Amino acid sequence: MILGVDLGAPATVVAALRDGVPEGPIPTRAPGGVRPAAVWGTPVRAVCVAVDLDTVRLAPVAAIRVGGPCPPALGPLTGWPEGAGRAVVVRGGHSLTGRPVAELDSAAVAEFAAGCGLTDFAVTATGSPVLAEHELAVAEIVAAEVPGARITLSYEFGQVGLRERENSAILNAALGPYADDLAARLGRDLPGVPLFFARTGSGLVSAHYFRRYPLVCYLGAFTCALRGGATLAGLSDTAVQERRPATCDRRAAAPGVGRTGGEGAAATAVRTGMVTGGLPRTGARSDLPVRVNLPLPLTVEADTGVAVGPLAGEAGPGWTVPGRAELAVAYGAALAAPVAEVERIVQARGRAELDRALDDARDEALTRVVSAGAAPGSARVAATTVNPLSYLPDGLYRVRVTAEGATP
């Protein structure tokens, strides 16, 4: 048996997946808790949690950019809300061909880390998708100056654009304290049971992985609503609308991820390279601290489809409400399996060198999916994409590898 947990409003919902059939809702022992009270008599293989992070209060971040000087309007944290953290630009970095731009200013890094007064760091160096040497060196310096610091490195998000990578790293770092607290609390509620979190787009990651890379789970609950809604309706190609009291009228196509926007609170827009969301959800969202402006794929305007969620019955004509519609998010989480992705920029002169780079990327993806909680022996490469980069020197490729596995 696998349990799916929906941490969304208005209350926590727990569903059980037994032989592919959803059961529930499962009672919890305390309001707002996730500790099931009725199924412990049957062995539980895993607990899969679905949560959206787009309304989480963000922690202040110490942003370190390694590169050449730039005007203040293009500096780190530009476009972020006031109080988002502190930032510095230090000398160093590489070109996309791996050529050093300048020697890393280690002293400036140490001085900033020791004096910024923060513990959540985002490090971005020019050229790091090709050569991450300076980001790794900065991480070592920060760890020495600030014991216990949480450090996000932008190269792990794989985007070519400096600003997109930088903002992804900053947002990931800002989500870190919340993710850490949530994973710890759920771990106490569910001792001895493998704990997973739903990714944006598809798949699951382990609690350890979620603590390190919470950004990959930014819209995990919404993704699960799509998967669960389509499956409950017995459809593989449909629009899915999720309706909740605080976040109503979210529509997207399944399979895929997306949602429509609408009237919402004013918010600061920062661009990331991650699939994190488009316009704010409809409804009053005056507490929204930041929004990212990269639209999710397959956003649709649909008049017919499947409606799920506590208020699915209010979707109106043309929308089918499947049985157990209130379980869609929890059910979608329970249906998922561990997934990990690696995106890199590689330089290869000839097919043999490119093949070696692809093998390295595949090995890294397999290692990541095991870290994300895949059962031993179940990890496999699901997809590999290679594209040459335009308007750059020959021999530069964007490589993306997806690996998946099974829950224990």
**pLDDT tens string 185-230:** 998 888 888 999 999 888 999 999 999 999 999 989 888 888 888 8
DSSP 101: S
**Does the bond joining 255 to the residue before it have cis omega, within 30 degrees of 0?**
yes
Task: Identify the pLDDT of residue 36.
Answer: 59
Reported as a pLDDT band with limits 50, 70 and 90, residue 266 is very low
Of the candidate ranges 89-93, 157-161, 165-169, 359-363, the one whose mean pLDDT is the lowest:
157-161
pLDDT at 349 over 70: yes
Of the candidate ranges 3-17, 27-41, 112-126, 377-391, the one whose mean pLDDT is the lowest:
27-41
Q: How confident is the model over 25-43, as pLDDT tens digits?
A: 887 665 455 665 445 567 7
Q: Which long-range contacts (CB under 8 A, 24 or more apart) does 70-78 make?
A: 74/163, 76/122, 76/124, 76/166, 76/170, 77/170
Mean pLDDT, residues 171-191 taken together: 92
Task: Identify the pLDDT of residue 20.
Answer: 76
Please say whether the beta carbons of 116 and 83 come within 8 A.
no
Reported as a pLDDT band with limits 50, 70 and 90, residue 89 is very high
Task: Identify the pLDDT of residue 256.
Answer: 35
Better-scored residue on pLDDT, 248 or 204? 204
pLDDT at 142 over 90: yes
Reported as a pLDDT band with limits 50, 70 and 90, residue 58 is very high
- C-alpha span between 381 and 403 (Å, rounded): 4
CA atoms within 13 A on the CB side of 221: 24
Mean pLDDT, residues 69-93 taken together: 92
Task: Identify the pLDDT of residue 279.
Answer: 30
**How much of the chain exceeds pLDDT 90, in percent?**
47
CA atoms within 13 A on the CB side of 229: 32
Q: Is 156 exposed, middle or buried (0-12, 13-18, 19+ CB in 10 A)?
A: buried
Reported as a pLDDT band with limits 50, 70 and 90, residue 24 is confident
